[in-house]
Amino acid sequence: MDTYVEYCYKMDIKLRQKLFRAILITLAVMFGFYSIFVQIFIPVTILWIVLAYYYNRSLNCEYEYILCDNEMSIDRIINKAKRKHITTLNMDHLEACAKAEDDFFKSYEGKKFKTKRFYSAFNNDQVYAMMFNEGSLYTCVYLQANDKLMDALTLRYPHVMRKG
């Protein structure tokens, strides 16, 4: 049975990133004003403008999940032009999947696991937790998913889906 589902969402911008962007723009304006009087600040002004421009472009990003058969690929799309591969999850190692609530973690209390987060506050879709077991290494992945993606996961892996 072949499975192919795509899901994409826009990432939210954290307060720290907004402040850094404001500082870059402020420095560009400040050095631009000073370069009127002291010409040596012109290259510095251009540098701050270029840094502010590229940093602002990098904040416009989306995440995309592609579920294709036994793999889920997670990519970051920067400014709708550049795609960066984040990770590939082998769904054969999926041990449990449910809504991200405290009840989900009760069976993993004594075990250590890594946590990866792929969700946004801008998006209203439900956040799910997926626990992957690769030998002695546990990885918990938080991700947002719509009904189409969760239906595909339920059809393909009904034994790991938990109601919640």
For the stretch 51-110, pLDDT in tens is: 999 999 888 888 899 998 889 999 999 888 889 999 999 988 888 888 888 777 777 777
Q: Pick the more confident residue, 134 or 26.
A: 26
Q: Pick the more confident residue, 106 or 153.
A: 153
Say yes or no to pLDDT of 1 above 70: no
CA dist 99 to 9, 73, 133, 134, 163, Å? 18, 20, 18, 21, 8
The predicted pLDDT at position 26 comes to 93
- Cross-strand partners of 6: 66
- Average pLDDT value for the chain: 87
**Number of H-type helices and E-type strands within the chain:** 3, 8
The predicted pLDDT at position 21 comes to 93
Please report, rounded to a whole number, the percentage of residues in the chain having pLDDT higher than 70.
98
